[in-house]
Amino acid sequence: MRRRKAVLHFLCASVAIVVVLFMLIPAHEWRAGASGTGEANGEVIWNNTFGSERYDRGPSFQHAGDGLIIAGWTQSYGAGDDDVWLLKTDAYGNEAWNRTFGGKESDKGFYIQSAGNGYMIVGVTYSYGAGGGDLWLIKTDLYGNELWNRSFGSTNYDKGYCMQKAPDGGYILLGITYSYGFGKSDVWLIKVDESGDEIWNHTFGGSEPDVGFYVEGVDDGYIITGVTYSYGAGGGDLWLIKTDLYGNELWNRTFGGASDDVGNAVVHTPDGGYLITGETHSFGAGKNDLWLLKTDAAGSELWNRTFGGDDYDKGTFIRRTVDGNYIITGMTYSFGTGKNDVWLMEVDASGKERWNSTFGGADYDIGFHVQQADDGSYIITGVTYSFGAGGGDLWLLRYVAPTITPDDGSRVPGFGFSFFIGAVLCMLLLKRKKF
Pick the residue with more confidence: 24 or 144? 144
Mean pLDDT of 116-136: 96
pLDDT at position 389 is 92
Q: Which residue type is seen at 158?
A: D
Helix (H) / strand (E) element for 10: namely helix 2-24
Mean pLDDT of 240-268: 98
pLDDT at position 24 is 40
- Residue 118 phi, psi (nearest 5): 180, -145
| 30 DSSP assignment | T
**Does the structure show a pLDDT above 50 at 232?**
yes
Lowest-confidence region among 11-15, 102-106, 162-166, 379-383 = 11-15
- Residue 23 phi, psi (nearest 5): -70, -30
**Does the structure show a pLDDT above 60 at 37?**
no
Percent of the chain with pLDDT over 90: 79
Residues 366, 370, 373, 376, Cα dihedral to 10° = 90
β-pairing, 67-74 with 83-89? antiparallel
Partners of residue 2 on adjacent β-strands:
none
Distance between the two ends of the chain, CA-based, in angstroms? 10
Pairwise CA distance, residues 61 & 405, whole Å: 30
45 CB contacts (<8 Å, ≥6 apart)? 377, 398, 399, 400
For the sheet with 134-141, list strands across it: 107-114, 118-125, 134-141, 146-152
Half-sphere exposure of 405 (CA within 13 A, CB side): 7
**DSSP per-residue codes, 290-335:** EEEEEE-TTS-EEEEEEE--SSBEEEEEEEE-TTS-EEEEEEESSS
Compute how many other C-beta atoms are within 10 angstroms of the C-beta atom of residue 357: 24
**Does the structure show a pLDDT above 70 at 293?**
yes
Pick the residue with more confidence: 50 or 409? 50
Pairwise CA distance, residues 380 & 134, whole Å: 28
Residues 223, 266, 75, 334, Cα dihedral to 10° = 150
| 185 DSSP assignment | B
Pairwise CA distance, residues 401 & 359, whole Å: 13
Mean pLDDT of 272-293: 97
